[in-house]
Structure 1
């Protein structure tokens, strides 16, 4: 065997060991999440979007009680895949969290449960992100079908009348339940935040509710 051929054979063998199934199984999974807010046709937000003197930098609803204040929220996420034995692939599913929050004073994770649970989907309330329970998942890893999922949050257009005036944020986080820290983004595998505004930029002492 020539020296060149011997060298190539050794290099190929080393590459097979380095990049074989065991090594590929350790490759980091490409977690992702994206949030969007839409103004439904006929809503106050849709009408406001056509007025150039009103905010255009984010979705805005004026809360003037002439038409419904509604938005549609969509989440597109890939929180991992179910492990398989043939071919051998690792379990990579993590929790997906969805948290509505405002002015650094109120945090509302949307928690979904199987249909057999009487409280199928509900918001929990906290005054600090540090208090959010690790189990307050929008989609728990065990309930994740795996791969890329696209969902309209709570199934359709949501009326926001009754919420506080001001800027609201929605944050989606992909993270493992055992290590997630809601004050430390380095523990999150992927995350996104988007915003919408009701009536004015802040709550204030008057006109403090979207009605």
Structure 2
């Protein structure tokens, strides 16, 4: 799998963007916005995943790819349909009302080992001196000030706002390492959202390969939030990634790479 790692810290833009784009104070009670998130997984034509679906001895209710083909056709596609809010302008006075919020996507591998506790933290994300066969990546720690060898449980998906820069997948050791409001961990920020309601998208623009990833059960999780309350004059509460009751909307799909337990095997 191609992976890109860059470091930038634009979390400070969160407060500024809220102050600019948040709804104007109103005395009229506004109905809560109907946020939504839906993820579907498909098996691209010609892939090993499609072939395995025709084999009645293989898993049928969970998207599965065997991770055994020498031509590396172990691929799946993920279609995203979500509504992260709308932005409207009052034609009479030009005031803006916005329920637009952020969208997060991340792959989750519960079988991963997380941080390598015996590794030495470094300020250089390219310093792989402490990586090994079990801890192959460098994960962000201490708000991306330092990095440490890990077997990531989380791969946060981000995408560029403009230009030809590729989408990126950032490895994180644990769910707790997902940073609310950090543009490096947001798939679609409220500032880049068109503000027209429902959006349809394909993760990584097309199907994705799973070469070099650990086999086993995985999930893709999508989160919309924090909730924008148009009847409130205070900023929204910080999104907590370990408490789904605080999310505006979310969905998750499971898929299987090779063996259900993994046992340390890699898709290759």
Report whether the alignment pairs 1:122 with 2:168.
yes
Q: CA deviation at 1:89?
A: 6.4
Match of 2:191 in 1: 142
Quote the Cα distance in structure 2 between the aligned partners of 1:104 and 1:197: 12
User: Aligned-pair RMSD on alpha carbons?
Assistant: 2.0
Answer 1 or 2: which has greater helix percent. 1
SS in 1 for 2:86: coil
Q: What displacement does 1:77 show?
A: 0.4
The answer on whether the counterparts of 2:218 and 2:254 sit within 8 Å (CA) in structure 1 is yes
* Alpha-carbon contact 2:63-2:255 (below 8 Å) kept: yes
- 1:193 aligned residue: 252
Question: Unaligned 5+ residue runs, structure 1?
Answer: 1-20
TM-score, normalization by structure 1 = 0.82
CA distance in 2 between counterparts of 1:104 and 1:29 reads 36
Equivalent residues, number = 187
In the other structure, the counterpart of 1:183 is 242
SS in 1 for 2:87: coil
Structure 1 residue aligned with 2:222: 172
Contact 2:175/2:241, CA 8 A, preserved across alignment: yes
Aligned to 1:39: 43
Partner of 1:109: 156
Match of 2:89 among 61, 84, 92: 84
Larger Rg: 1
Distance in 2, Cα, partners of 1:210 & 1:125? 17
Q: Which SS does the other structure have where 1:47 is aligned?
A: helix
